[in-house]
Amino acid sequence: MGYSIGIDLGTTNSVACVWRRGNVETIAVDGRATMPSALSVRPDGALLVGQAAKKRAELEPEQSIVSAKRFIGDGKTEWQIGNKVYTPMDAAAIVLGQLKIAAEKHLGETVTEAVITVPAYFNNNQKRDTKLAGEAAGFKVLQLLPEPTAAAISYGLDRGKDQTILVYDLGGGTFDVSVLSVKGNRFQAIAVDGDFNLGGDDFDLVLVEHLISILKKRSQFDLESFLDTLLGRNKNKQLGTPHEILVAKQRLKEAAEKAKIELSQSNRTQITIPEILGVALDEEITIDTYNRLIAPLVDRTITKTRAVLKAAKLTPDDIDRVILVGGSTRNKLVRSRIAETIKEPFISDRVDEVVAQGAAIVAGSLSSPEEDLTPIEFSNVTPFSLGLRASKGKDLDIFKVLIPKNTAIPATLTQEFTTFRVNQKSVDISIFQGEATNCKDNTFVGGFRLEGIPPAPVGQPKIAVQFQMDSSDLLLVTATCSNLRSQQTLDVNLVSREDELPEAAPQADIIFLVDTSGSMSSELEGVKRSCLDFAERVISLGVDCQLGLVDFDLSFGIGYQWEIFGPMEPKKFPTAIAGLKIGRLGGAGCYVGANDTIPTINAFVKAFPRGDRLKIGILISDEVGNDANAIAQIMNILKGGQVCLYVVGVANSCHEKLATATGGQFWDIHQSRGSVNFGSLLDSIAVEITNLALTN
């Protein structure tokens, strides 16, 4: 068995280590312990990776990629270099491939397995793309290991001391904070928090802004617009050529990064740039000025640190040791704020390597030559709540949590749901990750459609949805219907964007059945306005609908008369509504017998086109008869035509029975004489016609 390695795939720098002969060895790349996570493409197509790429990025930024980790998993970022498009996952795979080459040179053998670390606060999409990048680089990824857990393992291995530790990990692009329990060589994460868009890159950016503000005071150049251009805020005006702007931005960032490093060791530094778009810069930056600039960013990390203590139900006194990890923890303000908030931290001599060292130890425990195996145990927690989209009442976008944040993983949880519509044939399972109450404010993870549900009343089919989180915090979802012999499974590692979910627009035919007898004279204008408002709002929901209209009135001696408009395109509906006029004054009621009413209802049901589209009827009437036989026949006609009837009608009458029997709802017209309010009616029908999957 060959050696497996541990890799810290960082935003700014990456490190590879191996556990061999009872010790961790850092694998040098070009003579250095850390390798810049950068790549650059030369004009001849040659690919530079690491230190050479970082240097070239200063001169040819448009041909280079740096800090790609910040965008991994977002499903939209890409870079066009020459004739090739690179995604963040591609960039990660190239960096990992370079570390693989270095490891094979160091060990003198082929390396095929690796443990790769990720920020504890990475979501499922970010972890998925990291794993895929590892596989594209030629590795079998044994484990995705949270960076704080890796640091804790590196620090605590074989110390033989039970303790509770807090790992504060501030790297180039991400921030994590975790609380872990250590008992012997067993490491158990209790709670995690963080921000995957907060790190040393942001410290550099605030210093860049400060430098540009200094330049602005000393020059007639339009540096206000220049600043907006560099920061991506100026969409309409470009200063300089694209190449000049990119070079200027890169030179300022490199100067800021160098100053940041120097200020971690001294109280002042000098920033000198002889020329940048025609302006010279020579400025002393003191530690007090720098700390004032970055204080809001450090405060954000302290807020997260306090939050993770609260989630773990611990106080600062319960923490035995604080471990600082990541190059940005060399900052003096960071160290003093941590000391104030919890206690004096433990500072490793090699903060850039400790995460990769922990990953190497785990790799050695999972797959290494027998003599180098080290017995350790570790468990982690999921950093986000996981759940699916559900609907309840008026809210069509509820985030239903199945696995709460900080649940120990691996974990499996199953919950039962049901249908919300009569004869519903399918449900859409849409999975999200986050802490917001509505899905739109969380991260979409993946989705699929469970089809073929046999016809059944509302609530009868039992749909079991199972979430399985593996040890790398990656998700597998299975949905099974009690009425089906098959099941649908989603490996969310294969889905990256919500627009990949094969959802069809909800489809429905909606036909109004409006009583135009004289007794409706006080309601009719309000009915017409409400019908138009209703149509506009339903269409705005994105429903693929057709609207129809049947008006009816009892004529002298010859039963009911009706006229059918539609179904039609929604834009034609206002013309049909405008034609509604009050008919005969008075009336003998709407359901007075088979000879009068049954033909109207038959015509109404037949007006719906054939097919699988939802059939929704809206009856508006203020009079009703009590012919029990006719009522029974009407009910059978509606149910046979699979028409769901919503009624604005007379309370305690057959109107209520018809609505209930067909799966619709009822509103009392006499509670609002003169103006029918369709607000709650719309909410109910919106649930009916939007194809949301589940409700609890």
Residues in the chain, overall count: 696
What is the SS3 assignment for 652?
A: coil
Give the model's pLDDT for residue 592: 46
Q: Locate 129 and state its tokens.
A: 């793309």
What's the half-sphere exposure (Cβ side, CA atoms, 13 Å) at 74? 12
Give the model's pLDDT for residue 308: 93
Q: Locate 660 and state its tokens.
A: 């209930």
pTM passes above 0.85: no
Give φ, ψ of 315 to 5 degrees.
-115, 165
Residue 649 clears pLDDT 70, i.e. is over it: yes
What is the SS3 assignment for 205?
A: helix
Q: For residue 90, name the pLDDT band (cuts at 50, 70, 90).
A: very high
DSSP per-residue codes, 391-425: EETTEEEEEEEEE-TT-EESEEEEEEEB-SSTT--
- Looking at this protein, which amino acid is placed at residue 524? L
Average pLDDT on 280-291 reads 86
Give the model's pLDDT for residue 107: 93
327-336, 350-359, 499-508, 657-666: segment of lowest average pLDDT: 499-508
Q: Are strands 140-146 and 113-118 parallel, antiparallel or unpaired?
A: parallel
What is the rounded CA–CA span in Å between residue 134 and residue 118? 12
DSSP 219: -
Q: For residue 92, name the pLDDT band (cuts at 50, 70, 90).
A: very high
CATH of 396-500, one of 3.40.50.300, 2.60.34.10, 3.40.50.11060, 3.40.50.2300: 2.60.34.10
Residue 250 clears pLDDT 80, i.e. is over it: no
Helix locations, 137-240, DSSP H: 147-156, 200-217, 223-230
Q: Locate 115 and state its tokens.
A: 């443990």
Pick the most confident of 4-18, 236-250, 493-507, 590-604: 4-18
Pick the most confident of 203-217, 223-237, 531-545: 203-217
Give the model's pLDDT for residue 634: 84
What is the rounded CA–CA span in Å between residue 47 and residue 66? 14
Non-local CB neighbours of 536 within 8 Å, separated by 6+ positions: none
pLDDT digits (tens, 9 = 90+) for 18-68: 998 888 899 999 889 999 999 999 988 889 999 999 888 878 888 899 989
Give the model's pLDDT for residue 8: 94
Give the model's pLDDT for residue 485: 53
Please indicate whether residue 117 or residue 264 has the higher confidence score (pLDDT): 117
pLDDT digits (tens, 9 = 90+) for 401-455: 889 999 988 889 888 877 766 666 777 788 898 999 888 888 888 887 777 777 7
What is the rounded CA–CA span in Å between residue 4 and residue 356? 12
Residue 154 clears pLDDT 50, i.e. is over it: yes
Give the model's pLDDT for residue 232: 55
Give the model's pLDDT for residue 622: 75
CB 538, CB 510: distance < 8 Å = yes
Q: Locate 506 and state its tokens.
A: 């909800």
CB 423, CB 431: distance < 8 Å = no
Residue 694 clears pLDDT 50, i.e. is over it: no
Angle of helix 287-311 relative to helix 242-263, nearest 10 degrees, comes to 80
pLDDT digits (tens, 9 = 90+) for 513-561: 777 766 666 677 777 777 777 777 666 655 556 666 665 554 544 444 5
410-419, 453-462, 586-595: segment of lowest average pLDDT: 586-595
Non-local CB neighbours of 245 within 8 Å, separated by 6+ positions: 229, 230, 238, 239
Give the model's pLDDT for residue 1: 63
Residues marked active site are found at: 8, 69, 147, 169
Superfamily for the 200-292 domain: ATPase, substrate binding domain, subdomain 4 (3.90.640.10)
Give the model's pLDDT for residue 502: 41
**How many other CB atoms sit within 10 Å of the CB of residue 346?**
11
Average pLDDT on 631-653 reads 84
Residue 138 clears pLDDT 60, i.e. is over it: yes
Average pLDDT on 171-184 reads 88
Q: Which CATH architecture has domain 5-199+293-381?
A: 2-Layer Sandwich (3.30)
The overall average pLDDT reported for the chain is: 79
Q: Integer distance in angstroms from the first to the last C-alpha of the chain?
A: 51
Residue 236 clears pLDDT 70, i.e. is over it: no
CA 320 remoteness from chain centre: 35
What is the rounded CA–CA span in Å between residue 180 and residue 325? 14
Average pLDDT on 592-603 reads 68
Residue 676 clears pLDDT 80, i.e. is over it: no
Q: Locate 273 and state its tokens.
A: 């740039």
Q: Are strands 614-620 and 643-649 parallel, antiparallel or unpaired?
A: parallel
Non-local CB neighbours of 554 within 8 Å, separated by 6+ positions: 517, 560, 561, 583, 584, 587, 588, 596
Q: Locate 414 and state its tokens.
A: 């199953």
Q: For residue 498, name the pLDDT band (cuts at 50, 70, 90).
A: very low
* Domain ranges (residues) in the chain: 5-199+293-381, 200-292, 396-500, 507-689
Give the model's pLDDT for residue 500: 41
Q: For residue 243, name the pLDDT band (cuts at 50, 70, 90).
A: low
CA angle (503 as vertex; 500, 507 as ends), nearest 5: 155
The secondary structure element, H or E, covering residue 597 is helix 594-606
CA 407 remoteness from chain centre: 19
What is the rounded CA–CA span in Å between residue 690 and residue 678? 17
Non-local CB neighbours of 562 within 8 Å, separated by 6+ positions: 550, 551, 552, 553, 600, 603, 604
Domain 507-689 adopts which CATH fold?
Rossmann fold (3.40.50)
Select from 6, 95, 37, 102 the least CA-distant residue to 355.
6
**How many other CB atoms sit within 10 Å of the CB of residue 675?**
12
What is the rounded CA–CA span in Å between residue 148 and residue 29? 24
Give the model's pLDDT for residue 599: 75
